Amino acid sequence: MPQWIDGRALAQEIQAEVENEIGRLKEAGVVPGLAVVLVGDHPASHVYVRSKVKSCQSLGMLSEKAELPADSTTEQVLESVDSLNRRSDLHGVLVQVPLPPQVDARRVLNSILPEKDVDGFHPVNVGRLVSGNAVLKPCTPAGIVEMLKRCHIPIQGRRAVVIGRSDIVGKPLSLLLLHEHATVTICHSKTADLPSVAREADILVAAIGRPAFVDESFVKPGAVVIDVGMNRVESLEQVRRILGEKSERLEQHAQKGYTLVGDVDARRVFPKCSYLTPVPGGVGPLTIVMLMANTVKAARMSAGLV
């Protein structure tokens, strides 16, 4: 029988563990602190940052938000990051992306101190990830691996296919699965006969950013399917095609004018797979809690308590 993976329940489980670790750090005189740099007025970015700040506060962590106007220059953003790098009470620093087009995102992300890079994007941390020695791992990929382990889904010896080669999800996740002894194939928009490659997967990950792109023709019977997509769909016709005429989320669309769907056509894929992550409520909650876990790790390292 196919099963949904409840990302929210798993995130609560991990959050409880993180909260216990924060309590132990506070007993040692250390309060983990996270700073977020937000540039401009990108609506989704504001939503993500509010969620991160709220999570910090709920765990009793120090939370700092540096907001800069949309017309900020690269140098101005670098100055903000530098000031946060120098603060000893902040153990994690992240810059919310996307950045405005005039800002050199690579320079900005590379300016974060590796030991405070809780997103795991700095070249030093990427190198550690490649070599299998990463401490601060990219949050979404780390959350996916944690999800598989906590659901007792075997990784070792399994064929894993990752659709998407981004620096944020596809590439780092492929490395993490490789370190767990999976045989990994990375696919992308130029992959020939993508559905047939995907059907080789015991573990199929969709991280391509295209609504309901992965249908049943991509899925081997009994495969584990992880949907990383988070696509805002405004067309009612498209929502009906993806979710069906009887979906209760049609009411959500009527209220908001949009709804969120994944990269997987869940209605068609679910009957064929063994496990599937829903959107929303699957991978997303794990991303936030793994960010909190990374901040706690950074605080522990800063205090010499590793």
- Distances from the Cα of 284 to the Cαs of 6, 140, 190, 263, in angstroms? 11, 8, 27, 13
Same topology for domains 29-113 and 139-285, yes or no? yes
User: In the chain, what are the domain boundaries?
Assistant: 29-113, 139-285
Candidate list 52, 116, 137, 272, residue with the active-site label: 52
Summarised one tens digit per residue, pLDDT across range 189-215 is 999 999 999 999 999 999 999 999 999
- Distances from the Cα of 89 to the Cαs of 45, 62, 81, in angstroms? 24, 8, 14
pLDDT score of 6:
97
**AA identity, residue 301:** M
Name the CATH superfamily, with its identifier, for domain 29-113.
Answer: Leucine Dehydrogenase, chain A, domain 1 (3.40.50.10860)
Is 119 labeled as catalytic in the residue annotation? Answer: yes
pLDDT exceeds 80 at position 156 = yes
How does residue 44 score in pLDDT terms, banded at 50, 70 and 90?
confident
Summarised one tens digit per residue, pLDDT across range 72-113 is 999 999 999 999 999 999 999 999 999 999 999 999 999 999
The residue-averaged pLDDT of 296-305 equals: 94
Whole-prediction pTM: 0.95
d(CA 302, CA 299): 5
Is 52 labeled as catalytic in the residue annotation? Answer: yes
CATH class of 139-285: alpha beta
**Is the Cβ–Cβ distance between 273 and 223 less than 8 Å?**
yes
**Residue 115 contacts by C-beta under 8 Å, 6 or more apart in sequence?**
136, 298, 301, 302
pLDDT exceeds 90 at position 252 = no
Candidate list 96, 171, 202, 272, residue with the active-site label: 96
Is 255 labeled as catalytic in the residue annotation? Answer: no
Summarised one tens digit per residue, pLDDT across range 109-134 is 999 999 999 999 999 999 999 999 99
How does residue 141 score in pLDDT terms, banded at 50, 70 and 90?
very high
Candidate list 117, 119, 202, 265, residue with the active-site label: 119
